[in-house]
Amino acid sequence: MVLLSACAAPTGETTTLPEATTTSTEATTTTAVPDSTTSTLLRECPRAPYDVGELPIRAAGAQVPAENIAFDAFTSVAGTHSTIWLDREGGLVVALVRGTLPPEDWPGPKGETLIDGARAVAGQFADGSWVVAWFEQPGLRCDLYTMVFYPPVTPAEVEATLASMDRTAG
């Protein structure tokens, strides 16, 4: 089992993750109602208010603008804001997405942890990625968060990154 505790967890409180098996877009949404159609502009969520102190070792360091990467199922949701880190070859390492929860449920076991005091769920997807999801009060769209750790990544790297996260005033 992987043992995980966040830096904001109360003393002595730990949580476990299951064992490992070794955007920024502006869009218009349309809602159809009988005999009419309305369009509303979906506003982009602001940047996630977290400082991430430690990233997986293969991360090149600096964040990259979302428009510089190919979007995937996690980062392509209209109205979300993605903070993305790449490796030296341009491959995805971590994406922190504000404004949505994962597009699908976990295919296997998942565990609970804390992200700077907020209850989160984490687990490994079939492709080897680790996905963490949480929401903050009041639970509106921009209070939803997904963090994706793209393979290869170890559970220890996921733990260290989550433990290093601090909520900022933003």
pLDDT value of residue 41: 61
- Cα angle at 93 between 164 and 106, to 5 degrees? 85
Can you give the residue range of the structural domain that contains 79?
Answer: 2-167
Q: Are 147 and 96 in contact (CB under 8 A)?
A: yes
Residues 6+ positions from 170 with CB-CB distance below 8 Å: 46, 47, 49
Which pTM value belongs to this model?
Answer: 0.72
Q: How many structural domains does the chain have?
A: 1
Q: Name residue, tokens 């979302």.
A: 66
Mean pLDDT, consecutive 10-residue segments, the chain of 170 residues? 36 44 33 45 86 92 75 84 92 95 90 92 94 93 96 95 88
pLDDT of residue 135: 94
pLDDT of residue 146: 97
Residues counted in the chain: 170
What pLDDT, on a 0 to 100 scale, did the predictor assign at position 161? 96
Return the residue matching tokens 């993605």: 82
